[in-house]
Structure 1
Amino acid sequence: MPENPQTGPLMAPAAQPPAVPPPQARPRIDRQGMAIVMICASAFIFAAQDGISRYLGAAYSPIFVIMLRYWFFAVFVVLLCARAPGGLSRAMRTKRPWTQAFRGVLLAAEVLVTVEAFVRLGLINTHAIFACYPLLISALSGPVLGEKVGWRRWAAVAAGFLGILIVLNPGSGALSANASLPLGGAVMFAVYGLLTRLVARDDPAMVSFFWTGIAGAIAITLVGIWYWEPIAPRDIPWLLLLCLCAAVAHFMLIKAYELAEASALQPFSYTQLVWVSIFGVTLFGETLAPNVAIGGAIVVGAGMFTWWRSRQRERAETG
């Protein structure tokens, strides 16, 4: 049988193309690691924002300062939503308009109360009490969202409020009636968080973000416009920095939640307490009293336990 002339032994072997090294695999992006970095960075910026709010809130009416901050925030929200899929028309469409509007107004009221607390109590005392809001969310998730709250979470809530009592140091008169400000702010923020979870059943996150900024800006303007006052030239850079901090921190928060689950990032939000304490002591001459440090640690520990229990429940349901 004649050999194929193309493959016979007398023929030189066909030239082979030069070896090409396989393309290098692209480095895998650590999405959760990036999200953790972003959430920690946003916590630092939020702490800086709180410090600036404390400074400006002592020099001007807090309502006036928050109104200007919300104007900038509303512009940021509109620009961000306009770039999202569907644009502004999609961001405005909601199945729960009244709940969404109430969320926006409630958050603006919470910001106002908390800034007033910064001025009266300082950053450290305010945040030590305000840190109980995750426990309030756990306690109210049953009646508001119909979620089951077990005895372990109730025990964590009780421990957290024991920590609040240690911070308040009843009978000393150190915080007096002003302590109701951060506690009221924590209640409002907890209700805001629960309503956010409620509307998330029907609306995407960008819709809630749009209504938060616009409804809050309208509500605070109706009140704050009557408190208009001239701004000293030396404070204009601080006001601009306050607005910029709010926009950057919220943007980083959104990006972090796009990269990882909120439940995985929640513990790192507590780093804001560390930065707030540093700013309070170094910039405003505040003191970290032992009862505040101990009570705050108990509150944070109870909040971390409720987070751990929710993670365990989620794994049991999905596993």
Structure 2
Amino acid sequence: MNQVGQSARLGIILMIATCFVFAVQDGISRHLAGEYNVYMVVMIRYWFFAAFVLTVSARQAGSIRAAAATSQPALQIIRGLLLTLEILVMVSAFVLLGLVESHAIFASYPLIVAALSGPILGEKVGWRRVLAIMVGFIGVLVILQPGVAVFSPYALVPLAAACLFALYGLLTRLAARKDTSATSFFWTGTVGAVAMTAIGGWYWEPMTAPDWGWMAALCVSGAFGHWLLIRCYEVAEASAVQPFAYFQLVFATFFGVVIFGEALETNVLVGGAIVISAGLFTALRARAHG
């Protein structure tokens, strides 16, 4: 196997490992947010994340001042706030719906990115990708089951999270035209930490000793997951590893069913398969024309 092939293989392994760690993080978030206020949980998570971001960004850029330097602070602040809001919404979805259905719906975010890349980034979206986007959203409708008597409006919560994350991703690509990844990473962590401290401090609750252990695990898994993701993108092209990001849905579904006793409904299984298939198609089309 040549060097390129070895790098791609290592990148895929790192991406799958990243997905596993992030799924573990989601499971811990589901537990803690079910016991305590979601604002406090996300605030503490962001404190640790900000410390990790400051360390990594300063090392990559040479200093914290260099990492913070940007000609587009408004864009960077909006990015950070969007991600913060997305995390709040998604963790709430875990409590309202569970891991399985939340992740099945959230898996539509690459399709939202593809749909909005034209109007926001000026990218050309061919008819095949448009068709894949439409098919993918049919899959979302299969999961949501609108018009069915048992339809829950809570199902719209992870869809809102997917939209927020898609916007965050698009603005990240927009910011990358002028700023380095270290700068964007710096603003992501610091803006989120400041915003959540301003909000979460009002919702502080005493935690039990075991749950402080889970909180520590949540913080460490978040930092470790981002480190794995950074390493993944260092050794392989994003287009080569991105399709494997869907493993997070697989792992989250496993944890939801085995640990939290969630049911794997037929409509979620079928709709999730449609969404993933459409997402993989758009990823492969983007790679072929990248």
TM-score (norm 1): 0.88
Runs of 4+ with deviation above 6 angstroms: none
Q: Is 1:118 paired with 2:123?
A: no
Q: Is 1:164 paired with 2:120?
A: no
- The aligned residue for residue 283 of structure 1 is 259
The answer for unaligned runs of 5 or more in structure 2 is none
Cα displacement (A) at 1:175: 4.5
SS of residue paired to 2:43: helix
Equivalenced residue count is: 288
| Greater gyration radius | 1
For 2:67 and 2:109, how far apart are their aligned partners in 1?
A: 28
Contact 1:118 1:126 in 2 (8 A): yes
Q: Is 1:210 paired with 2:186?
A: yes
Cα displacement (A) at 1:246: 0.3
- The aligned residue for residue 33 of structure 2 is 57
Contact 1:105 1:219 in 2 (8 A): yes
What pairs up with 1:3-82 in 2 under 5 angstroms?
A: 30-82=6-58
For 2:7 and 2:61, how far apart are their aligned partners in 1?
A: 22
For 1:284 and 1:190, how far apart are their aligned partners in 2?
A: 28
Cα displacement (A) at 1:86: 2.1
Larger relative helix fraction: 2
What pairs up with 1:271-310 in 2 under 5 angstroms?
A: 271-310=247-286
- The aligned residue for residue 194 of structure 1 is 170
Tell me the alpha carbon deviations over residues 77-111 of structure 1, each in whole angstroms, 9 at most, x when there is no partner.
11112222422111000121110011011101000
Tell me the alpha carbon deviations over residues 202-234 of structure 1, each in whole angstroms, 9 at most, x when there is no partner.
011111000000011111111111001111112
For 1:81 and 1:309, how far apart are their aligned partners in 2?
A: 32
- The aligned residue for residue 4 of structure 1 is none
SS of residue paired to 1:89: helix
Tell me the alpha carbon deviations over residues 156-208 of structure 1, each in whole angstroms, 9 at most, x when there is no partner.
11101100111112233444111121010000000000000000000111110
Contact 1:168 1:174 in 2 (8 A): no
Cα displacement (A) at 1:312: 1.7
In 2 relative to 1, CA 241–175 (structure 1 residues): closer, same or farther, beyond 3 Å?
A: farther
In 2 relative to 1, CA 118–108 (structure 1 residues): closer, same or farther, beyond 3 Å?
A: same
For 1:38 and 1:229, how far apart are their aligned partners in 2?
A: 36
Which residue identity does 1:201 align to in structure 2?
R
For 1:173 and 1:144, how far apart are their aligned partners in 2?
A: 37
Which residue identity does 1:31 align to in structure 2?
S
TM-score (norm 2): 0.97
- The aligned residue for residue 236 of structure 2 is 260
Q: Is 1:142 paired with 2:118?
A: yes
Identical counterparts, % of pairs: 52
Match of 1:222 among 192, 195, 198: 198
Contact 1:121 1:175 in 2 (8 A): no
The answer for unaligned runs of 5 or more in structure 1 is 1-26, 315-319
SS of residue paired to 2:71: coil
For 1:248 and 1:175, how far apart are their aligned partners in 2?
A: 37
Contact 2:61 2:182 in 1 (8 A): no
In 2 relative to 1, CA 259–295 (structure 1 residues): closer, same or farther, beyond 3 Å?
A: same
For 1:256 and 1:285, how far apart are their aligned partners in 2?
A: 32
- The aligned residue for residue 129 of structure 1 is 105
